[in-house]
Chains A and B, each alone.
Chain A
């Protein structure tokens, strides 16, 4: 009995005051001054992942021990999780809300863990059916090109990748040494992309054995040729024999070629290339000394790489700037000036200022210059707009010439694998829009993660599933009453002495028990994980279940708007707004 009742006479009434019906006719929802509602928000990790990984979802799957699910979630956005889990500098972790409680979640280690799971790799990748008639050419098989190819294949376009080197992978193969990225991992992920129907033609160089004319049969082109020219220092003597270019050196040893070096090797530069060169040099049994003109704080190389290099025995001399390279008796004498740090420059780092008359010499057997990479523009048609050494593009990768798109290092000063993958995704989306006559800027806006620039291909393909408000969840919006401090799991590393014996991988994948434990540390910021805390505490039983299943629904007929569900939700997945008067 849930209706109101009326008695026509006293005789209809019971003899004692006994209740005869329930109160369900009393719709207490009318009392409500504020309305709680479920809305998933953007976690800061995803918002800062240049790839646009759905971090909360894949970690959630690991926590539920559904590794296949985790693998599927990862591959919605990223064809190279095994690569990223190893070499990405993980800006996601720097923004992880967990760091306000103890330490960030080891997102990269979890990504790698899923990508490395043997069982998952047995799963057959289905070849995407190439329904679409428009063919797409991709120039360059680095992470940008591969990512674009992968997503276009998922959109059912026939894709051909042209790569000038004899093997695909770009810097992942030629730059990053195998002790950080074993080649099996790279090959395994590339072959998954190929098995989806992507054709990779190696040994084909645009501007040499492929010309623009031949590309006319393609309806769109994505340029992702990277930045492969070693930047010169512009000092006398750098062209001498026995002075090598950092990237050239890495390319050689990474493709198994011999390089004749002396014993003591000087390396000039402070970026990732310099560190990779130095650590490779150690692995060839030589000594490595890095010369860098600023101090450790300003080094553009990733923190962890620097400390690993130091552990292994790389020496770094800070605040020294080479001004001339002399040669004497086969030795290289590097004339240097000592530096001091001045005001911050436009990159936010303190500027090195030479100390007058501080000249001194450093003697080494060979010298490797790793002062950064630049873009090869020679084979580009005239008129393509460039600035600060990069090709200018719109947010969607279009360059202002119909059907032409570009991404990766070629178009960005943020030169990382993750940025390259992200740009490849955006271009794939833009190419799809271009063929379908859609406004790509508007489409992009709808699938931005937070404020962007990363996008969610999952949301593009499934607009109604897993919607996410662009609001980025702050730590203060979480309810720490539900979380306790817990140690971050660390991947184990080989001892430095063993590491430098050869090019074997330094870091190992988390064992499954630790990965699951680590996944349990994630707050799931802004994303309901069905913990049912809201259901437990509602004083009005207005958080609904049907047949025991949590519905993630508020019964507005009865909810009085107390807001307890909003306050208690551990992860800010409920919003409270004032009820319209």
Chain B
């Protein structure tokens, strides 16, 4: 069997505080492997304010700066400017923000930076909720999902915000979706992003075992099912216009994805059908975008 080739360096050291089976920890490990040493990581508040460890320790083997919740885009812009002043155009600036920090509270800073086409990579680590503070809804939480603020009696009424479309409309040079079950794809997209200047956006879906109410051992499997069910299609957008859609060979009904997750445990069959209908619609929309 062919091996999945990944760089050997471990820049996320052992002893970190992520929950067992944390999807984002897999994502971080892979992303840091792809980024190499010459990088400044910016962390607006999220699980990743906690996971690396507490002062005076950190598991990161690369430079990392913790920033205010709203400030991902702004802090990164500032660091980039400082490096430029120093004449260092080799060091990469990379933001790693949560979905709350990206879709919601940090959207303004990100939008501003993207409009200026600031030269950094922004990774939105999407676990579909405010997980660090105990699983509150965010605008990335899927329709009808349970969170502590959208209880089963009143699950989330609004669909997930289409952050990729928002970023595309900023006409940034590169935006891509990725998820942990496809490490080669993630590494490829990171490499591609590294080779481009300007604002690059990676929407990384990372299942969260406690928040999604799934057993830790199926974390990667869920990530794969998100793609196979087309709940989370893999695609790239260049210059805000050119869509490249990655067709999945083994497509499964959304039910396969939903039924394994406690946060969807309350759904009736008709609700599942409704979700399926919307997933099909979004897929059609994406295909149309990819065609023109």
Contact = CB atoms under 8 A, between A and B. Distances in A.
A304 interface: no
Interface stretch (B49-57, B73-81, B108-116, B147-155): B49-57
A537 interface: yes
A529 B200 CA distance: 38
Contacts of A31: 20
Contacts of A26: 15-17, 53, 57
Interface string B22-33: 110110010000
B13 interface: yes
A566 B217 contact: yes
A533 B4 contact: yes
A481 B55 contact: no
Which bucket holds chain B's interface residue count?
35 or more
A23 B3 contact: no
A22 B55 contact: no
B56 A20 contact: yes
A234 B58 CA distance: 89
A539 B13 contact: no
Contacts, number: 129
A355 interface: no
Contacts of B224: 481
A562 B219 contact: yes
Contacts of A13: 56
Contact of B29 (A18, A520, A541, A567): A541
A20 B26 CA distance: 24
Nearest to B60: A19
Nearest to A14: B56
A562 B12 contact: no
A443 B264 CA distance: 54
Interface in A14-72: 14, 17-28, 31-32, 63
B1 A24 contact: no
A539 B18 contact: yes
Interface string A481-500: 11010000000000000000
A570 interface: yes
B216 A23 contact: no
B253 interface: no
Interface string A511-537: 000000000100010000111110011
Interface string B4-19: 1010101011111111
Nearest to B21: A562
Interface of A: 5, 13-14, 17-28, 31-32, 63, 481-482, 484, 520, 524, 529-533, 536-542, 545, 548, 555, 557-558, 560-564, 566-568, 570, 576
Given A23-B13, A537-B183, 11 more contacts: A14-B56, A22-B13, A22-B15, A22-B61, A26-B53, A540-B14, A541-B12, A541-B14, A561-B20, A564-B217, A567-B218
Interface of B: 1-4, 6, 8, 10, 12-23, 25-26, 29, 52-53, 55-61, 180, 183, 209, 215-221, 224, 249
18 contacts: A5-B56, A17-B55, A22-B13, A22-B57, A22-B61, A25-B15, A26-B17, A26-B53, A28-B16, A537-B180, A539-B20, A539-B23, A557-B14, A558-B15, A563-B215, A564-B21, A564-B220, A566-B217
